[in-house]
Amino acid sequence: MAININQEAREFHLTNGKISYIFRVMEKSGQLEHLYYGKGVNHRKSFKHLIEREARPASTNMLEGDYTSSLEHIKQEYPSYGTTDYRYPAHKIIGQHGSHVTNFQYESYHITKGKPALENLPATYTEQEEEAETLEVVLFDKILQCRLILSYSIYTNRSVITRNARFVNLGNETCFLDSAMSTNIDLPDDQFEMVHLNGAWARETHLQAQSLFKGVQSISSSRGASSHIHNPFLALKRKQTTESSGEVFGFSLVYSGNFVGQIEVDTFGVTRVMMGINPFQFKWKLAPGESFQTPECVMVYSDKGLNGMSNTYHALYRERLVRGRWRDKDRPVLINNWEATYFDFDEEKVLAIANTAKELGMELCVLDDGWFGERHDDTSSLGDWFENKQKLPDGIDGLARKIDRLGVKFGLWFEPEMVSKGTKLFSEHPEWVLSTPGRRASHGRNQYVLDFSRPEVVDYIYKLMDSVLEKATISYIKWDMNRYITEAYSSDLEADRQGEVMHRYILGVYQLYERLIHKYPDILFESCAGGGARFDPGMLYYAPQAWTSDNTDAVERLKIQYGASLVYPLSAMGSHVSAIPNHQVGRTTPLHTRVNTAYFGTFGYELDITNLTAAEKEEVKEQVRFFKEKRSLIRTGRFYRLLSPFDGNETAWMVVSNDQSEAIVGYYKVLAKPNDKFNRIKLQGLDPDKRYLINNNPVDHFGDELMNIGILLKRNETGYPQDFNSEVFVLKEV
Ligand code: DGJ
C-alpha cells in the first residue's frame, strides 16, 4: 500500500505505514492543496475533513463570491506568487508581455512502479520495482500553454519521499523560468529548530541549530558548487527532539551547484519549506517544445530523532544513490602523497612510498597534484594533462606498472574543470574560459574555470583524460575542484540564456563523470573540491566517496565528520591520518587519536610513511590490519552519534552491525582533566538481551547494561592524562 487515490475527491495519499503524505485537487480552482506530511496515518476513503477554510478579514480572494479562497491561508504543493499568496513561491515564470502570474491546474495523474531516472541529473533509484512507487501529477497553465509535472516517489521500506518538478513548454511563445524549486511543503506550525551544516574551507559541515523566527531564513550557495559554506541539507526538528527521540523533517538536495534551502514562517505560524536550484542568478529560457527538469529533493521523516533521520539517509545514499561496482565493496586502504610531498616528488619518491605502503599492508597508492605539465606549484599547467617526464621518466603508465607489480593499486589526481594560463588548452581556446566579455576574469589559486556548459569542452577534457586512462592501469581517481566560479558567462550562449550558465556547467560536470564511469566501471572515484566544497548527494551518484575536508587534524575532524554524519554515510567520508604538527592548524595529536578518528570513514594515510620509525611502522601495520578486519562493519553498520563535539570536550560515536552481533565505538577527549570523575558513555543500537565482550576482556555485558549504564572509561587509560586522547572499543557478541 503506497499510493492511494480517491478519484472522486481527487485526493492522493502516499503512505508506506511509516510516513504519510496527503494532498488534493481543489474543486473550484483545480490547484493542489497540501493536507499532511508526517508520521504514517491509516488510510481512509476521504481526508476532506482536514481541509482548513475560513473567511479572513483583510485577505484577498481568488474566486468571486468565495471569501475562503485566499491562497495565503491555504497550504499548497507548489505555490506561485501574486494570486493571493504573498509568500515566496515554489516557481516563477515570466511569460508573454512580461507577466509573472501562473495558474497550474490539475489535468491527470500517472503511477509507475519503481522510480524513473531523471534526465541528465543524479537521483536515488530502485533496483526492483517493488522498492518504490512514483506518482506524477500533471498540471497545465492554459495561458502559458505550459505543463508542470510534479513527481513524488515513496519508498516501500524507508521513511523517504523524493520530489522533483518538470516544466514543458507546449505553446508557441517562449517563457522564462525564474525559479523552479524541487520541493515545497507548507507545514502547519512553526515550533521547530532549523538544523543545518555550515562552514568554510578546512572547517566544513559544522552543525548549527536555531529556533525558527517569523520571516524568511535560508541557506544557499551562489558559488557554482554546493560549497564549503552550506551543505545542501536542512532539517526541522522539534525543540525537545534529541538524537534518539522526537520528530525531524529532513531535506537533502541531490545537486552539486547553486542551491537554496529556504524556510518562511508566515504571520499565521505556517512554515513553508522549499529547496531547489538557487533562483538568485538563475533564469532558464523555455522555448516552444523545450522542457526543464529540477534536481531531486530527498525528504526524510523521523520520529526517532536526528539519528533516526541520519540512519535513513545513510542507508538510502549508500544503497540507492551510490552506483557501480564499488557501491557494495570495501574500499582500499590508501596512501596519498599530497601532505607527504606536495609538488616536490619524482618517480623514485613515489615508488619509495608505494614500497613502504606495501610493507604496511596498504592497498592503493595515490599520486596527487603535480604529475603533469610544468606543475611545480599551483601557478600553472592545469589543462595540460600530459605527464612531466622529468618527474616521471616512464610516464604515468610506467609508474602505474611498477606500482602494480608491487601488488599495490595505483590512483591519480585530476582537476578536469580547470585551466591555467600558459597552457596549450588556454592558448588554443581562450573562449573556453568562463568569463564576461570585456571584464577582468578573477582567478582562484591562479586558475580559471573551463566552460563546462559547452559540450565540446566536456568532450575535449574527456578525450584528454581518456588518453591517460587508456594507457595506464589506474584503479582510482581523485577528482578535485579548487575554486568557485566568478564572472559566470558563456561565450557559447545567447544573451537571454546567460542565466543558465551555472546549471549547464554542473550538467557538464555530471556528463563527464557519466562518460568516464561508463567507460571505466572498475575505477573508484573520490570527489573533492578543495576538501568539502562539493560534499553533496549529487556527487555521490558518480563518486562513491568524497574528500570530507582538507583539514586532517584529528580534533577538527571530529566536528567535520560528526556534522557530515547528519546526512552522509561513513562509506562516503574520505578520512586520512596525517603528520604532526598538523599542516592546517599546527596541532600535535597522538597517532592513536588521528587513527581512531580516521577509522570512521574510508580510511587512509596522508604523510611521508617512508620516514616512519620501525616502531611507528609496526603501529601502522597493526592499524591497517585492524581497519581491514573492521571495515565491512564500519561501511555497512548503523552509525550512532553518542556525544557531540559541538557540546563540549568529548565526542563519541559508534557503528553497530546490522545483526547486532558486533560494534565499534570511538571515544575522544580533547583536553585532559586531572583527577576527573568516573565517566561512562551510554551506547546505542545493541540488542538488549545479547551478551557482549568489550575488547576481548573476560567479563561480558548485556546490551541493555551497555545502553543504560554505559561503558566505564578508565580515567588514565593510556597511563597518564593526556590532551587529545581517545579510545576505540570493539564489542563482540559472546
Ligand atoms: C585540494 C585537495 O583537497 C587536496 O587534497 C589536494 O588534492 C590539493 N587540492 C592538490 O592541489
Alpha-carbon dihedral angle through residues 301, 321, 481, 576, given to the nearest 10 degrees:
90
Mean pLDDT of 657-666: 98
Place 715 in a pLDDT band, splitting at 50, 70 and 90. low
Instruction: Tell whether ligand 1 has an atom less than 6 A from the beta carbon of residue 411.
Output: no
- For 502-533, give the DSSP string: HHHHHHHHHHHHHHHHHH-TTPEEEE-BTTBT
Range with the poorest average pLDDT among 193-197, 239-243, 594-598, 719-723: 719-723
Nearest to residue 142, comparing CAs of 30, 62, 63? 30
Instruction: Write down the pLDDT at residue 1.
Output: 65
State the Cα–Cα distance between residues 629 and 620, nearest whole angstrom. 14
Place 411 in a pLDDT band, splitting at 50, 70 and 90. very high
C-alpha cell read off for 186 = 507548507
| Sign of CA pseudo-dihedral 69, 75, 80, 85 | positive
Q: Which residues are marked as active site? A: 480, 550
Nearest to residue 430, comparing CAs of 446, 414, 444, 441? 441
Backbone torsions φ then ψ of 173, nearest 5 degrees: -110, 150
- For 430-450, give the DSSP string: GGGB---TTSPPP-BTTEEEB
Mean pLDDT of 419-433: 97
- Ligand 1 atom 2: the closest Cα is on which residue? 530
Mention every residue, 6+ apart, whose C-beta is less than 8 A from residue 523: 469, 474, 475, 476, 477, 516, 517
* Ligand 1 atom at shortest distance from the alpha carbon of 550: 3
Q: Distance, CA 159 to ligand 1 centroid (Å)?
A: 37
Instruction: Write down the pLDDT at residue 96.
Output: 83
Instruction: Tell whether ligand 1 has an atom less than 6 A from the beta carbon of residue 347.
Output: no
Backbone torsions φ then ψ of 690, nearest 5 degrees: -85, 155
Instruction: Tell whether ligand 1 has an atom less than 6 A from the beta carbon of residue 339.
Output: no
Instruction: Tell whether ligand 1 has an atom less than 6 A from the beta carbon of residue 338.
Output: yes
To 10 degrees, what angle do helices 347-360 and 395-406 make? 20
Q: Distance, CA 530 to ligand 1 centroid (Å)?
A: 6
Does residue 253 register a pLDDT over 80? yes
Nearest to residue 407, comparing CAs of 362, 458, 350, 456? 362
State the Cα–Cα distance between residues 60 and 92, nearest whole angstrom. 20
More confident residue, 722 or 422: 422
State the Cα–Cα distance between residues 499 and 488, nearest whole angstrom. 9
- Ligand 1 atom 10: the closest Cα is on which residue? 369
| Ramachandran assignment for 710, one of left (phi > 0), alpha (psi -120 to 50 degrees), beta (any other) | left
Does residue 710 register a pLDDT over 70? yes
Does residue 716 register a pLDDT over 90? no
Place 676 in a pLDDT band, splitting at 50, 70 and 90. confident
Instruction: Tell whether ligand 1 has an atom less than 6 A from the beta carbon of residue 526.
Output: no
Does residue 225 register a pLDDT over 60? yes
pLDDT single digits (tens) 94-113: 998 999 999 999 999 999 99
Nearest to residue 379, comparing CAs of 433, 435, 441, 444? 444
pLDDT single digits (tens) 295-351: 999 999 999 999 999 999 999 999 999 999 999 999 999 999 999 999 999 999 999
Asked whether the beta carbons of 455 and 551 are under 8 A apart, the reply is: no
Instruction: Tell whether ligand 1 has an atom less than 6 A from the beta carbon of residue 420.
Output: no
State the Cα–Cα distance between residues 232 and 536, nearest whole angstrom. 7
C-alpha cell read off for 578 = 596525517
Instruction: Write down the pLDDT at residue 719.
Output: 55
To 10 degrees, what angle do helices 347-360 and 614-636 make? 70
- For 173-222, give the DSSP string: S-EEEEEEEEEEEEES----EEEEEE--TTS--EEEEEE--SEEEEEE--
Q: Distance, CA 531 to ligand 1 centroid (Å)?
A: 7
Instruction: Tell whether ligand 1 has an atom less than 6 A from the beta carbon of residue 109.
Output: no
Q: Distance, CA 371 to ligand 1 centroid (Å)?
A: 13
Instruction: Write down the pLDDT at residue 711.
Output: 95
- For 594-640, give the DSSP string: HHHHHTTTT-EEES-GGG--HHHHHHHHHHHHHHHHHHHHHHHSEEE
Q: How far is CA 18 from the centre of its chain?
A: 24
Nearest to residue 498, comparing CAs of 417, 434, 430? 434
User: Is the model's pTM score more than 0.95?
Assistant: yes
pLDDT single digits (tens) 26-74: 999 999 999 999 999 999 999 999 999 999 999 999 999 999 999 999 9
More confident residue, 676 or 422: 422
pLDDT single digits (tens) 206-215: 999 999 999 9
Hunting for cell 572515484 — which residue is that?
Answer: 525
* Ligand 1 atom at shortest distance from the alpha carbon of 529: 3
Instruction: Write down the pLDDT at residue 720.
Output: 65
Instruction: Tell whether ligand 1 has an atom less than 6 A from the beta carbon of residue 550.
Output: yes
Does residue 590 register a pLDDT over 80? yes
Q: Distance, CA 671 to ligand 1 centroid (Å)?
A: 30
Q: Distance, CA 338 to ligand 1 centroid (Å)?
A: 7
pLDDT single digits (tens) 131-175: 999 999 999 999 999 999 999 999 999 999 999 999 999 999 999
Mention every residue, 6+ apart, whose C-beta is less than 8 A from residue 257: 221, 224, 225, 226, 277, 502, 503, 505, 506, 538
Residues belonging to the chain = 734
State the Cα–Cα distance between residues 52 and 37, nearest whole angstrom. 15
State the Cα–Cα distance between residues 294 and 507, nearest whole angstrom. 12
State the Cα–Cα distance between residues 215 and 208, nearest whole angstrom. 18
